[in-house]
Structure 1
Amino acid sequence: MSNTALLVIDAQVGIIDGPSIGPVYKKEQVLGVMKSVIEKARELKVPVIYIQDLDVGSENLEDHHIHPDIFPLPDDLIVKKTATNAFYQTELQDRLQVLEVEHLVVIGVKTEYCVDTTSRGATVLGYDVTLIADGHSTTDNKVLTAEQIIAHHNRNLHGLDNVSHFILVRESSENIFEHKHLEYK
């Protein structure tokens, strides 16, 4: 597990609970999955890295804070970002290299924005990605329901590869911290 890290993307009160952006689809269920994945990572000594979007509320408002149900511990890393890709103009890549990470497990919100963009971006930077099928969520848009967006991304991202790194979409009940990608290389 030493080459694996957990990314918790934009799990902030304003996105998960709303009111201006959320609540996300199946809020309580996805929070429960995120909490259990985070607890499992800590149990396995997998680094937990929270990605926090600076555009979600101001730093002094509750909307900006990471959701209290999955709040970081003092040893967890928090990377602040302004773009949809958590690697863009942040310290994330440097931190992962210091930790010698090769495999990222991804949970968070919103599916079609930061979860998708960061997962895809990670593959071109040399990381294998495990996206947790039941560990990300979003809200309806003018064309698709949140349920359709999530299903679409789970289907389209599973097996997406860039050069020699790719994304596997797995359920939280599986052994998600296992670097299963190595079986296919």
Structure 2
Amino acid sequence: MQASAPSRRALLIVDMQVGLFNGNPPPFEGARVLANINTLIARAREAGAPVFAVRHTGPAGSPLAPDSELTKLVSALDVDAARDTVFMKTRPNCFVGTDLAQRLADAGVSELAIVGMKTEYCVDSTCRAALDLSLRAVLIEDAHTTMNTPELDARDIIAHHNRTLNGPFVTLARTENFEF
């Protein structure tokens, strides 16, 4: 029996952009999440793993137009467009209407570490979609965030999604324990 090839991991950073990160209300523990994502970026680079960062955009002339300051990546995020892959999406699922799945396949990636914003929208949608594409998804439980809503505190939204997604859709990992 032949041993299976080891999985190649990549990092996907979802919507860490100015309009969300610097919004009102601010994201829950935003500074800690940003620091954790930057730690993961450094580890991915050290291991030679691909780093992908996606920006959520809308139509020209809207507040989320591709050239809007609101859709630019947060300046403190250690993404380098010269070495990392930065792309745009218009839907919550990072795979719909983008070439992300093909880029991952071309890079031989079979396992995707997912981080970013917002937990209950684009992070959740992308975690669920990865399974449909036969990718193993790892949700970095302390590197995604959202904002408080009138119904739920952000802490509860994050905890709920970590519990709900873990098992059927993702494996959970913490920043301190995740290696590429």
List gaps (5 residues or longer) in structure 1: 162-166, 178-185
Aligned match of 2:92: 84
Superposition map of 1:30-179 within 5 A: 30-55=33-58, 57-73=64-80, 74-161=82-169, 167-177=170-180
- Indicate if the aligned counterparts of 1:2 and 1:46 stay in contact, CA closer than 8 A: no
Q: Percent sequence identity over matched residues?
A: 35
Q: Report the Cα offset of residue 84 of structure 1.
A: 0.3
Task: Judge which range, 142-151 or 71-80, deviates more.
Answer: 71-80
Counterpart CA distance in 2 for 1:52 and 1:16 is 12
Counterpart CA distance in 1 for 2:21 and 2:66 is 16
Q: Report the Cα offset of residue 24 of structure 1.
A: 0.6
For 1:159, what is the secondary structure of its paired residue?
coil
Counterpart CA distance in 1 for 2:104 and 2:74 is 23
Q: Report the Cα offset of residue 113 of structure 1.
A: 0.3
Q: Report the Cα offset of residue 17 of structure 1.
A: 1.1
Q: Report the Cα offset of residue 72 of structure 1.
A: 2.1
Q: Deviations over 1:71-91 (max 9, x none)?
A: 421111112100000000111
Q: Would you say how many aligned residue pairs link Structure 1 and Structure 2? A: 170
Aligned match of 1:18: 23
List gaps (5 residues or longer) in structure 2: 1-5
- Indicate if the aligned counterparts of 2:38 and 2:78 stay in contact, CA closer than 8 A: no
Q: Report the Cα offset of residue 176 of structure 1.
A: 4.0
Mark the CA change 1:2 to 1:168 in structure 2 (over 3 Å): closer, same or farther.
closer
- Indicate if the aligned counterparts of 1:25 and 1:138 stay in contact, CA closer than 8 A: yes
TM-score, scaled to structure 2 = 0.89
- Indicate if the aligned counterparts of 1:53 and 1:81 stay in contact, CA closer than 8 A: yes
By relative contact order (CA 8 Å, sep 6+), the higher-ranking structure is 2
- Indicate if the aligned counterparts of 2:118 and 2:146 stay in contact, CA closer than 8 A: yes
CA-based RMSD: 1.5
TM-score, scaled to structure 1 = 0.87
Moved over 3 A (4+): none
Task: Judge which range, 108-117 or 32-41, deviates more.
Answer: 32-41
- Indicate if the aligned counterparts of 1:17 and 1:27 stay in contact, CA closer than 8 A: no
For 2:101, what is the secondary structure of its paired residue?
helix
- Indicate if the aligned counterparts of 1:130 and 1:176 stay in contact, CA closer than 8 A: no
Q: Report the Cα offset of residue 169 of structure 1.
A: 1.0
Q: Deviations over 1:2-46 (max 9, x none)?
A: 711100000101111114xx5211111111111111111111111
